[in-house]
Structures are given as structure tokens and as C-alpha cells.
Structure 1
Amino acid sequence: MLIPPKIIDNSEGNTLASFLNEVLEAKPDTKLDVASAFFDVRAYSMVKDNLNDVSSFKLLLGKAPEIKSDRTLGKELLRMIGEEVEGLDLTKEDEFNVKNLIEFLKRDDVKVRLYEKEFLHGKAYIFENLVVIGSSNFTVSGLTHNTELNSVSLDSEAVYTRERWFNQFWKDARDFKAELIELLENSRYGSREYTPYEIYIKALYELQKEEIIAEKEEKEEKKRGLPSSKVNLAEFQADTIKRIFSRFKKYGGVLLADSVGLGKTWIAKKVLEDIGYYERKNVLVICPAQLRGMWRDEMRSITVTESILSQEEMASSDFLDRATRLVPNVTDIELIVVDESHNFRNPLSNRWENFFTLVNDHISSDGKKPYILFLTATPINNTIWDLYWQVMLMVSMDRSAFVKENIPDLFEFFKNVDKKENPSLLGDLLNEISIRRNRDYIKKNHPDAYILKKLPDGVEIEQKIEFPTRTLETINYELGETYQGMYKEIADVITDKLTMAYYRILQYKKEEELTEDEELTLGRMIALEGIFRTILLKRLESSVNAFRISIDRHVNFLTKLKAYLSQGKLLTKKSFNKHVISFDDELDDFVEELEGL
């Protein structure tokens, strides 16, 4: 004979799930009426084997105070149950449990109703000769979690609870059984057959689900009365924001590689506003030195703290001190925006190594990584490995970051693409980690794109976005003829008359013989000299202005070098390397590290 406990608190050996099964086993043909705010399939599966012989089963679902939604109660409960079902693993056991529930619900002696008039606080499991009343909903948590508390009463209390309480709510409730069965039948475990079109739409939804959810959340934010955005975006730019945040959630970073003129800066500005202004989180912008002023103005315009680190500062030995001066507790940095991210394509450069160190050893020291947004119109400058090393920074050198996209090892994936000499094989990866559009794409897919323009009187109007028509011409020329003989003259000076003494300083060592290490160093210096001569010739071939800029930079460098030499100081090897790199990347400044002779 079953001797029930007075209290069921879901402690070890005293769970509601085990008690329900004991009662059902003791009296298989009993009636069972259940009142609950929630219901889930997994809870049913815990007692299903002992429900087959019940003479009748009634499930009364009602609204709980914690359900706050604009949807009707029925739609909200269906949404919650649907999410649970879709979240189940694709196992035979889960499939069997859902199909078993469908068959159970189809029985004539099984009824489900929904009480919508007001909150249904009470939870009860009413048998013929006993009743359980307490806090447990008909869910896995309710049947097993040890924060619940229920009391057990016998005969007369069971009759009273059924007739005077349960039946009163039951008669005022509406039928919910057909809707619940339809939901389960339409799930991936049900019997409904979907058309190819429906499967296609479902695939599109799953692909864009994160963006759709983000759009809904954005609408909710507007309902909360937050200030309007100060960043005026076109529709195609606003769509990009949703994609960026979905990539943040999935990979922690994204590469925005839109063509020049499509508003990468404005898109990044909106992301900075969302996180830096609306969420009041710390942000950091890393950009070339010449763009610092532009980014300072943009961040001021959205009332975000101007935490800006130049790429030259990022390459310096005191990069961490500079970062902490901007954000004292770097672990609080939520977002890093890197403009001209192609400058981080070389893993041997100081800026690449220091960026990796900043993010992984300092900002992420508490286990929480910042979001990373890379901006560049040219993610690949020379080879596909330029892209690889940028992606590696975003995913913290995790070569398995895209295993769910059927890329188990990113390094091997790039090796295979490189071997086949077919960059188009990067398409699937780029679709996941980057956003890349050109003007033709925008004109084709957003032909009516517009942006709001404020007139002097304050009135806003829609201004259609028009891209100017570009006329391309091919001009064939010979350098010798173009420069009227000066090209050869300048090339001869660069090749034969420039001494490049500063690249072979060890030749001027006062001691007669160089050590073996110094001989090797001198060899490297001479190699750098050759590289620089080549760079100057490339600039001359590019344009007179490009050549003039390089010469001006070189003159400035020599002026500084001469000044320091007169003080008995010398640029270190590291500074020399940074100087050469600065010419290749066309950076404005380089960090000068000095040491005494």
C-alpha cells in the first residue's frame, strides 16, 4: 500500500516525478487532473510509461505572473513549447517521446484546456484519493528541482480540490488540445510533410534567424523610450548592423570589407554608438595615426568616450601603458574597432603580436573576450594569407573556430585553397566571417536606397542615393617617354649614387673586424637597403606624387637620425625594421626607440 509523504520538496529520493509514477503504478486506472502554468514534453516523458491506463486525464494550463508578453496566452505557451521541441536533440528517444505525446493527446479521454481570464497561481495534481498542491509546474524543473515545495493531502481534500476549485476554472477555460497537437505535428518530429517551398523558407529563416531576432530586439529597445540614434544610415547600412551583431554572437568578430564609398565608417560608428552609448560599455578604436582626428570627431558626435589608439602606438613597446591610459581597466573593453585592418596581415609585425597580446592576455584575462570589428576595403593585399592572419586575430588563433561550417582546421583549409590557387574556394568562409558588397550589388539589391537629409529649416526629407557613373579609360604609356628621360636619370641616382649609409652602419664600426653575428646583421642591413631602393622605384612608377611623399618621409627620417647621431644616440634594429615597414604600408610615422652608444 502506498504511504505518501506529507511534503514533496524534490530533494534526493523525494521528487514529484518519482511520486507521480508511484501513485500511477499503484492505481493505473485512476483519474488525473493537472493544473499548471507551464508544460513541457520532457516532463511528460518522465511519467508517460505510467499514463497509458489512466481512465481520464485533464490538463489545465493558465497564465502565470512571470509571463509578460504582448501575445495571447495561447500563442505564448505554444511558442514556449515549440521552442522546447525544436531545441530537443535529434535522437530516437526524443522523437519517440514527442510522437508518444501526440498519440496520448489524441485519446478521447485526454483533454487540454487554457484558462485566460487572469493569473492561475495554483498548481495541483489531483488523483481520485489524493492531491498534490504546491509550487511545481508540469515541467522538468517543477518535477525535479529542489527549490519547489508541495504538500500531499488525501481523499476529502482531493475531492474538494477537484470539485470546488479545479472544475470551476475548467468550465471557464477554452479547448487547447487541437492547437497543441497541431504544434507537435508540425514540428520536426511530427507527421506533417513539408513542401519544397516551406523547406526553402525554413532554411532561409535559420540562416537569417539571428538578424531577425536582433531586429525584434531593436524594436523593443525603441519601445523603452531610449534617445534616437545620431547615426543616419541608409537601409543597406542598417541591415549590416544586424549582420555584424549576429557574427559577434557567433564568432566574437567580423570583417567589414565593403568597397570604398559604401560607409564602413558610418556602420562602425553605429556599432560604437550601440555599445558605447546605449549600453554604456567601454570601446576602443585602433586606426592609422592620420585617421585619429577623424575618429575623434566621429566618436564625439555620438557622445562616446574617445578611446583611440593609433596603429603606430599599437606597434610600440609601451602599447599596454597607452591602452590603460585610455581605459584603466582594460578587461572592461567590450568592443574593439580596427580601421584599415589589412595592416594587421603580418603575424611577424609588432602591431599584430601586440594586438593579440592585448586582447588575449589582458582584455580577456577574466575569460570574457571583446567583440572585434575589422574595417578594410582590401582584406587581401598580396596573398590569401593576409586574410588568414586577420581572421586569426578575430578568433584568437582558434583554428577550429569554423568546425560547424565544415572547416575543422582553418590553417589546413587555407593551405588547400592556396595549393589549388583558387581564392573563390574561400566563399563559404567569407560568407560567415565577413560582409563584402560593392556598388553594383547595392544598385541591384537596393535600387531605392535613400538616406534622410535634414534641411536648414529642420525638416527631414528622403534623398535617394545615387552613385556617380564611372568612365574607365585605358592609357598605354612608356615610363621613359612619360618622364622624358628623367626616369632613367632618377633610377640611376637611386641605384648607383644613394649611399644608404644608415642601412650599413656596421661598416663604420671603429673596430677592424666584425663578429660573426655582426656579419650576419650587416648582411640583413644590406638586404633592407635593396628593398628600400626597390620601394622608391615602385613609388616613382606609381606617380610623381607618391614618389615625392616617399622622398619627403625619407628626408624627415634622415634629419631625425642625424640629430640623434649628433647626440650620441642611435635607432635600434627594431626601429629600423619599423621604418622599412612604414614605407611599405605608407604609414605616416614610426616609433623611435633610442639607445645610447
Structure 2
Amino acid sequence: MNNTLIDNSIEALSMTTTLRKCLAIDGIKTVSIATGYWDIPGLAILQENLRSFIEKEGTTLRLLIGKDPYIYVNQLKSPKYKDANYPLDFIKTDIHELNVTEEYKDAIRLLLDYCTENNDSKIQIRVFRKNENDETQFLHSKCYIFDGKSNGIGIGIVGSTNFTQKGLQGNAELNYIETAPNQVLSLDEIPGNKSHLIWFNEKWEISEPWNKQFLEQILKSAPITDDVEKERKSEQQSFTPYELYIKLLQIKFGDIVDKSLGQQIETYLPANIHKLEYQIEAVKRCIGIMHEHGGFMLADVVGLGKTIIGTLIIKRFLSVPEDDGRERKVLVITPPAIQSGWKKTIAMFDKNSDEKIAPYIDFITTGRIGNVAEDESCEDDDDDSRDSGDFGGTLQEKNYGFIVIDESHKFRNSATLMYQSLDELIQKICSNTGVYPYVGLLSATPQNNRPNDLKNQIYLFERNHNDSTLKKAESGNIERFFADVNREYELLIDRSNDIPADERRQRLDAVSKRLRDCVLSDILERRTRTDVEKYYKDDMESQGLIFPKIVGPNNLEYIMDDELAQLFSDTMTIIAPTEAEKLQTDEWLKYFRYRAIEYFTDPANERKHTGRGNRGVNDVAKQLATIMQILLVKRLESSFTAFTQSLLNLRRYTENMIKMWENDTIFVCPQIDVNKELDYEAKTLKRGKRVSFNDCVEDIRAKITKLTEQGRNEKGQNAEYNRKDFKEEYYIQLKEDFRLISNLYDRWAKNPQDPKFDAFKENIKPELFNPQKNTSGKLVIFSEAINTVQSLARAVKAKGYKALVITAANRDEMEHTIEENFDANYEGVWKDDYNVIITTEVLAEGVNLHRANVILNYDTPWNSTRLMQRSCKPYRQ
């Protein structure tokens, strides 16, 4: 918090926001307020924040009421204040004429709870009437002091704002906040200098205690107080078990059974989106969970419309402002591939709406490590190994009131920089506004492996881990609950112990049940297609919603002969050996082309490449090498053509590093495609003149200079080095990798077989276009490798079918063609220019292809979520 003027001009510079921030600071023990006038509506604005402060041990609120001449003169103009004593009759009249609203009743409850006649009352009120010379005097000074001296905290605000509703929110005010504790809290008498606290204490000492008079003559006789007391007596009355049960149901499921809420949510839907009852129910349930727990998990299976449900919740949040301190700003976090789907959905909601929501929504993507292989034949962006552990852009420090995270399982690891950045933002928002933002977690697979996956995501909205809202989990102590659950889980998955298999399975089931019953049942909203068919059958029929039955999967089998099988096995041992195989031989790839940063001799150079997700250079290099290893395994499984091309590329990239070493000019440039820059043969063809290695070196140097001049060369990561900057063994290991890659490539170059591709060609017509199975006459084929996609397209066309090939390069350009030929929701004229669409992962999500009813996964889907997304293509809504 900085020294600044506070003028109510914007939210961040409003007196209300500033006071909420100050009250939320840990370590404040005494709050002292001097005001020219005071009213209950002003107290109501800060009631929740003041209660949280006063409930802490050892805290006190001192309220000094003066006499603001402007307010006094204006009030005297009203007949009801004629001959009234100030401030007793003025405040009494105000309180006795208050509208009986819930927010005002909460303020009255605060006073009844903590303002007593005792000397140790937590709320102490005094009235200033005379100065130190016993002369009657106006006190229209305004001062707010937050005293946490024992914790090194002292904040003072002086200016024009009275502790009233108009002062806090309605008027154009001017105040100044001082955050230096010695300026605010010093009790040293220094000539020509006076601290805030000295000034306040001087006035406090000569003021009249007012608690007793205020309670007896004003508060306890007020009509609103009668209402509060009656409610308290009613609450103290005993209920029958049945009445308690009904009350619990009302609290727990009030939003779900509220028909008016459902009707309001339905009005948000665009005309071209069907009203589906299960989605409306999901929205209501998530809103209820969010209000109770501060967040929710939406885990509907793929294809049930989580994006639409999420957008409806956002629309509700923005359309119905609540006086809860949360600003009407929304942050949506998504992986890069699905951000466009969110933006399209929001644009659809805004298209014919007078109340646009897009201006209130910011987007940021989860980060990805780029295509380290610089391999244009690769589009496998779905693999979690490529998560950078950071955001794909700058996380703005705004006071978001609602944060939506799609694919929230990417936040299962609290050690990543991305998680920590979001966690810090959430904490800052609370410090700034006094409340945490709501957090919505969307994922069909919130738990990938361990219970900790759930814990870390839940911690984004359950901020008090020792006293959470999840009371079935160790009475709210979810820190202890998850510690117990994880301890049991780790024991059971450790195969080195001698727990019998049946017992192990039973205890794992018990762990799952405990998680489900104690945690997920309260915060998770999840429906499968079976649930929708079972519980929303009438709704499906009325809307004409049909979930086609999934048949299969069916295998198309192929057989490798002994020689090819041996080559395949040898290849796996070389590119991705098991731990046992590593002990038996050293003939396997270490991917040293991507591990140069491990071999710097100067730690200063290492530090240039650290910082992502608290990882050192060894971790970064290991991740890069793992990505390349996974890519090769995927290419091998995809097609031998794709694998051979990737192997050839890796050989060239490794050779480039060796050549740079031998020329004593070594580039490590995360932002520059060094391998592309060193392709002097391609450059020669493009430029029409001979390009040498040295010419390529100069090109790279120029790019580094440009990045540096533009301020984009972060930490000097893109740099040129010499051999002396690296350990000598790096060159030896590069040469060994090059030898292994070359030998393996030579073996594959001699292999003419691809029985998988042969089986595909043989089954195009009899299986894939069998009219008994493929009733639509359209086919969707997925592969992660562009080389494979191109080979499949040639084979399909050779059989007389019309194939549309889609990759990241042409997806946007061909979007309309895709809709015309494969989207059953397309409202224009359907076309049949193509009956086969062959695509990379770029169409795995966010696109309707349900005019087709047969899908071929030519490659093994390595990601379970992506497999579900692919499988849902024929029967999306």
C-alpha cells in the first residue's frame, strides 16, 4: 500500500476500498476513527470487514464523534431536528427512522455484540464537545488510524470523509493516506511535528465516554433493534429434528430449487442455443456451491457444454452485483487451444444482448514450451510434458471478483510458477478488497493421479486450510485431511511393501470414498451422459436432444514380420529405454542437443535459463529432452514415414550443434530457431545465391541484436558462446548421440515396410465406409503428425474419396468449409464437397464434426482427456 490521495474517483482510489484493505491487514490491533458525524448506513458498508477485525483477539475499535458544522447546519433545516441535542437526538432520529434492511440489521448486530457499557468494550464510542480549555468547539476533523505498532504496521488517513454512507460512497472527497508507521504512530513529542496518534489521543482524552448513553437512549429503543432481538430469540428457540433438516435443505439447496433463478438464467441464453435443463441445474448448483465455499468444481464429461455453463455463471455474476466487495471483473484462464472457443461463446452471448459481458472479461493462457524440435511435421500440443509451468502472458494485477480456470487440472502442482503467480494474485485481491475472488474450476479430469491434484486446486478458493468450509473433512481442517489421505495413498501405491492385493484394492477404494464423501460431494458438480439420459429424459425429448450410442472401439489389426519387429524393439530401446534396459546397455539416446545449458562452466550463464517454476537448468534441460523423446515415440507409433523424417531432423539438429562447437561459435537462443537459421542449403535456394555457414552465423547475430534492442532478450538468454563456456564432455556426448541417430536412421532408411499403413489402405472401403457402420458416409481421421496426415490423404484420394486435410496452418482459413461439410449445427446450406476430414489435434476440441459418425484414431491418443474429446466429435450438441 502506497502513500496517495484518495478521492473516490475510481474503485482503487475509493475510501471504501482503502478501508477494507486496511482492515484486512494482519497485525492491526487498534482502529481509531475521528469523524464529524456517523451513521448506521456508513457502518453497514464496512460491517463485514469490521466484524472480521473485531472478532480477532486483542482488537479494539475507537470511534470519536465530533460535530461537522456543514452537516449540523443542514440538519437543523429539517423540522425533525428542531431543538435537538447533538449528536444524541440527531443519531437517534436517524437510527429510529432506518429502513429495516438486512444490511442495516447486520450493522446493528455488530453493535449489540461488541459495544457494551464495560470499560473493556471492543467498540468504544466517545463524543467531543469541548477543547482542552473547556471551551465548546466544533470537531469536524476526519482521521482513520490503523495501529499495528507491535507488528511494524501503522497507517493513517486524514481528509474530508466522514464515517457515513455519503462520505464513504456518495460524495466527492479528498483524503491522504500515510503508510510510514513512525509518521502515524510515534508518541515522541517533537517541536513542530505531531503524529496522527498523538493528535487522536489528545482529543480522545478530553472527550466524553458515550457507550452507555448510546446503548440505553438510542440503540436499544430503535425499531430495527427490536427486529434484530426478535430474530435472535427465534434463532435460540429449539427446533425439531425435522425442522432442522428442512432448514438445512433450504440453506444447502436453495439456489437449486429456486425457480425464479432458473428462469433468470434461461433469459441469458442466446436464441440459437437450446435450453437444456441439466445445464441450467448445473449453473444453479455451481452458484450455490460458490456462495457457500468461495468456489466450485465443474467436472461434467467432455461434450456436455462446460463452456456454456461457465459462461452462464459469468453472466449471472456480472448481471447481479452483490454488495460483497467483489469487483465485477472476470479472469478466464485456458490452454491456448481452447481460448478461441471461449471467446466465440462469449461473443455469441453478447451478439443480441444490451448487457455485454466481454468488456468485463480478461483472458490469459497457460504457457507451453515451444516446438523444441523445430519440426514442422509435429502438432502434438496436447502433451502435459510441454507445460511451461508459467502463464503464456503477463498476469495482470486487477481486483478480479471471479476467476474461471478451464482445464484446471493444469493447476494440480503448487510448485509451478504459474500456480504460485495465481495464488499470489488471489491473496493480493483479498488484501485490496477485503474478500477473496470466487474461483470456478472446470475439468473433466480434475484428478490425474494423486489426491494432491485435488488439494492444490481446491486451495485456490478454500484459503483457510485449518478452518475451511468443508466441515466433513476433519471438521474443516483440510490440511490435516489431505495429509492423512496422501499418506495412505502413497503407502498403498508403493509396490515394495507386502500389503496383499485385495487389501490394497479395498483400501484404495476407501481412500476414494473418503475423498468423495468428505470433500467432493460438497464442491463438485459432475454429470455423465448416462446421468443426463436417466434424470433429464423429458428435457431431452422436448428439445430433441439425442446422444448416439457409441459402438466399439474396433481394432484394425496389422502384423509386423520378425525383422521389422526386431527393428521396432531396438528402436524403442535406443530412443526411450526402460530403467532396466539402461542398466544393461549404454547404447541409447541422451538428447544432448537440448541439454547444452546443463554444461555451462559459469554459473552466471546457468542463471539466465532458470526461473520458470522454481526449476534449475537441469530440470529445464531434462524437460526439453523428455519432450523430444516423447515426440520420437509418438512419431514411431504414428507412421514409419513420420518417424524417419523426425529422426532425420534430429540428426541434422545434432549435427548443427557439433558444427557450431567445431567453429567455436555456439548459439543458445530460446527465441530463435537456430536450426532453421543454420539451414544454408534452404537459404541458398531461397536467395538464389550461395549462403555459407558464416553467413548464417551473421544472420543469428543480427537477430540477437534486434531482440536486445527491442528489450525482448530477457536476462540475455539469447546469446553467442565459445567452447570454453562449456564443459569438454558435452562435445563428446553430442558426438555419441549423433552416431546413434545416424546408425538408427540408416537402418530405417533401408526399411520399405509399413504394415499399419497397408492395413489402413485395405480397410478404407470395407470397414471405414461400410454402410452398415458408417451410416452418414463421412469419416473423421486423427493423427498428430503432419507427415502421416499427408500420407493418409493420398491413400484416401487414391480410393476415390474426397479428403479435406486440416492442420494448424489452415484451420482458420478452412473453418467455414469444415462447418458446411461436417457440422450438423451449421445453419447455412450443408455441402458434401468432402466425405473425409483428416486432421491433427487442432480439431480435437471446440469444433463440431457430428455429421460424421465414424472416427479413426490412426495414432494412439496419449492424453486421456484428448481421447474423450476426439470420441465426442460425432455426438456433440
1:245 partnered with 2:287: yes
Q: 2:572 maps to which residue? A: 491
Instruction: Write out per-residue CA displacement over residues 207-227 of structure 1, whole angstroms, 9 at most, x where no aligned residue.
Output: 3134345x44566x69xxx96
Q: How many residues align?
A: 405
1:541/1:405 Cα in 2 relative to 1: closer, same or farther (>3 Å)?
farther
Could you tell me how far apart the structure 1 residues matched to 2:616 and 2:568 are?
A: 32
Match of 2:442 in 1: 375
- What one-letter code is carried by the residue in structure 1 that aligns with 2:543? Q
The aligned counterpart of 1:560 is 673
CA displacement 1:16-37 (0-9 Å, x = unmatched)? 9xxxxxxxxxxxxxxxxxxxxx
Residues 1:295 and 2:342 are matched in the alignment: yes
1:334–1:316 distance in 2 versus 1, CA, 3 Å:
farther
Match of residue 353, structure 1, among 414, 420, 433? 420
Q: Contact 1:494 / 1:533 at 8 angstroms: preserved in 2?
A: no
Question: Helix, strand or coil: the match of 2:433?
Answer: coil
Instruction: Give the structure 1 partner of residue 532 of structure 2.
Output: 442
Counterpart of 1:503 (choices 579, 594, 597) is 594
Residue number in structure 1 paired with 2:550: 470
Q: How does 1:54-93 map to 2 (within 5 A)?
A: none
TM-fit CA distance, 1:539: 3.6
| Alpha-carbon distance between aligned partners in 1 of 2:410 and 2:298, rounded to the nearest angstrom | 14
Q: Distance in 1 between matches of 2:591 and 2:330?
A: 43
In the alignment, the residues of structure 2 paired with residue 494 and residue 475 of structure 1 have an alpha-carbon distance, to the nearest angstrom, of 27
Letter in 1 for 2:300: D
Query: 1:207 aligns to what?
Result: 252
The aligned residue for residue 404 of structure 1 is 471
Structure 2 distance, partners of 1:308, 1:317, is 17
Counterparts of 1:412 and 1:506, CA distance in 2: 40
The answer to whether structure 1 residue 281 and structure 2 residue 328 are counterparts is yes
CA shift, 1:364, in A, is: 5.3
Distance in 1, Cα, partners of 2:865 & 2:547: 30
The aligned residue for residue 875 of structure 2 is none
CA distance in 2, matches of 1:523, 1:364: 36
1:2-55: per-residue Cα shift (whole Å, max 9, x none)? xxxxx9999999x99xxxxxxxxxxxxxxxxxxxxx9xxxxxxxxxxxxxxxxx
Q: Which residue among 480, 483, 499 is the counterpart of 1:415?
A: 483
Where does residue 363 of structure 2 map in the other structure? 308
- Matches for 1:8-47 after TM superposition, within 5 Å: none
SS of the equivalent of 2:441 reads: strand
Does 1:145 pair with 2:219?
yes
C-alpha contact 1:364 1:370 (8 A) present in aligned 2: no
State the match for 1:535 in structure 2.
630
| SS of aligned partner of 1:440 | helix
Q: Pick one of 235, 258, 271 that aligns with 2:313.
A: 271
Contact persistence 2:466–2:477 (CA under 8 A): yes
Q: Are 1:258 and 2:300 counterparts?
A: yes
Give the unaligned 5+ runs of structure 1. 1-6, 17-37, 39-63, 69-80, 90-139, 150-180, 452-461, 576-583, 589-597
Deviation at 1:429, TM superposition (A): 0.5
- Give TM-score scaled by structure 2 length: 0.38
Displacement after TM superposition at 1:412 (Å):
1.9
Structure 1 residue 270: Cα displacement = 0.8
1:47-58 aligned at under 5 Å gives the runs: none
CA deviation string 1:271-324 (max 9, x = no partner): 122234565932221111111221111111122225221112999899698444
Task: Give the deviation of 1:474 after TM superposition.
Answer: 7.6
Return the match for 2:519 from 429, 433, 441. 429
SS at match of 2:333: strand
Q: Which residue of 2 aligns with 1:189?
A: 237
- Is 230-239 or 481-490 further displaced after alignment? 481-490
AA matched with 1:300: A
Give yes or no for contact 2:262–2:281 (8 Å, CA) kept in 1: no
**Contact residue 343 and residue 585 of structure 1 kept, 8 A:** no
Please say if residues 404 and 442 of structure 2, whose CA atoms lie closer than 8 Å, have aligned partners that are also in contact.
yes
The answer to whether the 8 Å contact 1:561/1:571 transfers is no
Unaligned stretches of 5+ residues in structure 2: 1-82, 114-213, 224-229, 322-326, 351-356, 370-386, 490-510, 577-586, 610-614, 654-669, 679-696, 705-712, 719-861, 867-877
Any conservation in 2 of the 1:233–1:266 contact (CA below 8 Å)?
no
1:253 Cα shift? 1.0
Distance in 1 (CA, whole Å) between partners of 2:473 and 2:218 is 38
TM-score (norm 1): 0.53
Structure 1 residues 485 and 418, CA gap change in structure 2 (3 angstroms): same
Residue by residue over 1:59-96, the C-alpha shift from the partner in whole angstroms, topping out at 9 and shown as x without a partner, is xxxxx99689xxxxxxxxxxxx9xx9xxx99xxxxxxx
1:491 and 1:537 in contact (8 A); partners too: no
Query: Is the alpha carbon distance of 1:188 and 1:532 closer, same or farther for their aligned partners in structure 2, counting shifts above 3 Å?
Result: same
What is the deviation of 1:339? 0.9
Q: Could you tell me the percent identity over the aligned residues?
A: 20
Tell me the distance in 2 between the aligned counterparts of 1:66 and 1:525.
63
Contact 1:340 1:375 survives alignment (8 Å): yes
Letter of the 1:560 partner, please give it: D
Between stretches 246-255 and 520-529, larger displacement belongs to 520-529
**Structure 2 vs 1, CA of residues 348 and 419 (structure 1 numbering), >3 Å: closer, same or farther?**
closer
Task: Give the alignment partner of residue 229 of structure 1, picking from 240, 263, 269.
Answer: 269
**Separation of aligned partners in 2, 1:193 and 1:397:** 32
Residues 202 and 587 of structure 1: is their aligned pair in 2 closer, same or farther, counting only changes over 3 Å?
Answer: closer
1:316/1:528 Cα in 2 relative to 1: closer, same or farther (>3 Å)?
closer
